[in-house]
């Protein structure tokens, strides 16, 4: 798929498109793709409150995949989207392998441009992070979705695992066409007066600038493994400025995901794109692709950490 810009609006941050696109000053020309809200086979009400909590340099969320169900999304919501404006990517979730297959089949018979498999959601009690932290289970989910659709598949990888590059390789072998690196980290906040977790689900997914260094490293680790396979990566995690986005491109991402930043600056994409263009001009580069994976590593030191 060709994207008009490297920027992808991340799942869960823009609803099913309409919440963001109605903001005054929004332009689809700034966005390469929009990932729709995580969708399951049956409707879900999500988790009990509180579901969002601000943290230093980030936020915790535990929405719990609230959504109206895949059939409703395909029949009622997709017809309201203008597919000439940008790419729209469905985000699939499930608590069983069979559910992923059924949801993928429903979206296969729709105008959606691609499917993002969410195997790494840390804020639901079933499925989600359990799939994403087991490379063989991750591969199994990708495999059944591959059988259910001919559309491009992007697998969203969890950072809450021992070896993300190994998981990425297994997903590629199972048939994924692209990877999204990373999903949120698992986190908690505590109300010290009540001595209870602030989040109703007890734990949630941490996003925002606090996780950017981790996301950047994971993106580069997956890129190094992916190079022989030529599988593109959407790098994401704490991107709020053009410099952030450029770092991810240099680390090996083909596109960059914008999420938490949209909550406090819905028009951030325009400034990020402008900054990328200025950087390319300043370095006499003609295309973003010349940046991808251009990181020059230092020679490894034998000194211990610290």
Q: Hey, which residues are catalytic here?
A: 121
Distance CA 244, CA 152 (A): 27
212-250 residues labelled b (16+ CB within 10 A) or e (exposed): beebbbbbbbbbebbeeeebbbbbbbbbbebebbbbbbb
For the chain, report the end-to-end CA distance as a whole number of angstroms: 43
Residue 165 corresponds to which tokens in the numbers above? Answer: 């590059």
Virtual torsion, Cα 107, 74, 113, 153, nearest 10 deg: -30
**Which parts of the chain fold into alpha helices (H)?**
18-21, 70-72, 97-108, 129-132, 135-148, 164-174, 212-226, 242-251, 261-264, 268-282
Distance CA 225, CA 168 (A): 8
């Amino acid at each position: 798929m060709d994207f008009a810009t490297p920027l992808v609006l991340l799942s869960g941050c823009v609803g099913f498109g309409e919440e963001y696109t109605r903001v005054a000053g929004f332009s689809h020309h700034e966005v390469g793709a929009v990932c729709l809200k995580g969708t399951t086979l049956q409707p879900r009400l999500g988790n009990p409150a509180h579901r969002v909590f601000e943290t230093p340099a980030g936020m915790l969320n535990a929405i719990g995949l609230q959504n109206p169900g895949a059939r409703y999304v395909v029949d009622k919501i997709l017809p309201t989207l203008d597919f000439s404006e940008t790419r729209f990517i469905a985000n699939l979730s499930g608590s069983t392998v069979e559910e992923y297959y059924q949801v993928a089949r429903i979206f296969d018979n729709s105008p959606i441009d691609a499917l993002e498999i969410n195997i790494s959601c840390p804020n639901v009690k079933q499925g989600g992070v359990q799939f994403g932290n087991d490379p063989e289970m991750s591969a199994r989910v990708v495999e059944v979705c591959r059988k259910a659709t001919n559309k491009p598949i992007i697998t969203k990888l969890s950072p809450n695992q021992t070896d993300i590059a190994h998981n990425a390789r297994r997903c590629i072998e199972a048939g994924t066409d692209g990877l999204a690196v990373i999903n949120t980290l698992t986190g908690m906040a505590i109300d010290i007066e009540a001595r209870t977790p602030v989040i109703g689900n007890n734990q949630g997914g941490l996003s925002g600038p606090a996780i950017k260094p981790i996301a950047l490293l994971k993106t580069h680790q997956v890129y190094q493994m992916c190079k022989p396979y030529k599988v593109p990566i959407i790098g994401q995690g704490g991107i709020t400025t053009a410099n952030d986005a450029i770092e991810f491109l240099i680390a090996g991402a083909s596109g960059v995901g914008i999420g938490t930043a949209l909550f406090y600056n819905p028009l951030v994409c325009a400034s990020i794109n402008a900054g990328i263009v200025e950087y390319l001009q300043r370095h006499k580069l003609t295309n973003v692709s010349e940046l991808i994976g251009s990181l020059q590593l230092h020679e490894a030191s034998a000194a211990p950490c610290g």
